């Protein structure tokens, strides 16, 4: 079975993995800034802004 996960990773070391089907603004670690196509921009607690990446995960 293959599912998609949304990876959010900041150069400062903060990161989060969430189901790609989950609403993008439901991040627990990052503040959702805006959607960018199938991805989204997030603001980290350090002030950095990063773009998520969706990847296929094989279960």
Spans of all domains in the chain: 2-58
Dihedral over alpha carbons 47, 25, 2, 11 (to 10 degrees)? 0
pTM of the full predicted structure?
0.86
What are 34's strand-pairing partners?
A: 41
> In angstroms, how far is CA 34 from the centroid of its own chain?
11
Per-residue pLDDT of the chain (59 residues; tens, 9 = 90+): 568 999 999 999 999 999 988 999 999 999 999 999 989 999 999 999 999 999 887 65
């Amino acid at each position: 079975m293959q599912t998609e996960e949304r990876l959010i990773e900041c150069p400062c070391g903060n990161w989060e993995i969430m189901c790609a089907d989950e609403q993008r603004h439901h991040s627990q670690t990052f503040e959702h800034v805006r959607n960018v196509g199938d991805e989204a921009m997030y603001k980290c607690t350090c002030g950095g802004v990063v773009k998520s990446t969706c990847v296929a995960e094989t279960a």
